[in-house]
Amino acid sequence: MNIRYFAWVREKVGLEEETIELPSNVKTVSDLIAHLKDLDDYHASAFEEEDAIRVALDQEHVEPDTELGTAREVAFFPPMTGG
Positions that interact with another protein (CB under 8 A): 4, 6-8, 56, 59-61, 75, 77-83
Residues facing 19 on adjacent strands: 2
Q: Which is nearer to another protein, 69 or 82 (CB)?
A: 82
Residue 59 to residues 23, 34, 35, 53, Cα–Cα distance (Å): 22, 21, 21, 15
Q: Which is nearer to another protein, 11 or 40 (CB)?
A: 11
Min dist CB 44 to another protein, Å, is: 19
Q: Which is nearer to another protein, 22 or 80 (CB)?
A: 80
User: What burial class does residue 15 get, using C-beta atoms within 10 Å of its C-beta: 0-12 exposed, 13-18 middle, 19+ buried?
Assistant: middle
